[in-house]
Amino acid sequence: MISTDEYLKIDREAEIRSEFHDGQMFAMSGGTLPHSLLKVRLVGALARALQGRRCEVTDSDLRVAISAQGPFVYPDAAIYCGEPRLADNYHDTLLNPTIVFEVLSKSSEAYDRGNKFAHYRRIDSLREYVLISHTEPRVEIFAKGPDGKWTLTACLGEAATCELTSIDVEIALADIYRDITLEGA
């Protein structure tokens, strides 16, 4: 078991990023080509859609803190609106994501749908949690309603368009999935 401060010091100096849960560090594994391409296309589509707005997209290099003491995670992408709230003067830990995106993989899908989503739901600023399938053109958007309940909207097929209601942006699945041989294909 290590402290939050020890984790942050180690992670900031390491060549390999690690997430932090309950006093333990977990190294992040590398991804496949389809996983990498999905992340890059997603961030590019979001950056274009957010031009001229008060929201910014970040990639998987920026850590997100569930709370000041953790867990600390690295989503594949995140959007914050307004001023970013950062944990400290290192400017490498976001505290106020509006939307978090995870590109699923064989090894991470159960965690992303289960415990990781449970952690994310504890972030007050979070309005949507988006899962990008690695096996078919499918995007699942979990949106937090005014009553605090989360509802699911699934977008299926390359012809589909998904609406991110918390920021009033639409993303075409064709922009994310174009020319990618998926892992299930």
9-24 pLDDT, tens digit each: 988 998 888 889 888 8
Q: Do residues 117 and 140 make contact, with C-beta atoms less than 8 angstroms apart?
A: no
**For the chain, percent of residues with pLDDT exceeding 70:** 99
| Residues 91-149: tens digit of each pLDDT | 999 999 999 999 999 988 999 999 999 999 999 999 999 999 999 999 999 999 999 99
108 CB contacts (<8 Å, ≥6 apart)?
Answer: 102
Q: What is the pLDDT of residues 26-69, one digit of tens each?
A: 888 778 899 999 999 999 999 999 999 999 999 999 999 998 88
Residue spans of the domains in the chain: they are: 31-177
CATH architecture classification, 31-177: Alpha-Beta Complex (3.90)
| 3-state DSSP of 10-53 | HHHHCCCCEEEECCEEEECCCCCHHHHHHHHHHHHHHHHHCCCC
Report which of 100, 97, 132, 105 is spatially closest to residue 117, judged by C-alpha positions. Answer: 100
Write the burial class of residue 157 (CB in 10 Å: 0-12 exposed, 13-18 middle, 19+ buried).
Answer: exposed
Q: Which pLDDT score, from 0 to 100, does residue 184 have?
A: 65
Residues 6+ apart with CB under 8 A from 74: 17, 19, 28, 60, 61, 62, 63, 64
CA distance 176 to 150: 24
Report cis status (omega within 30 of 0) of the bond before 97. Answer: no
- Tell me the C-alpha distance between 99 and 144, whole Å: 10
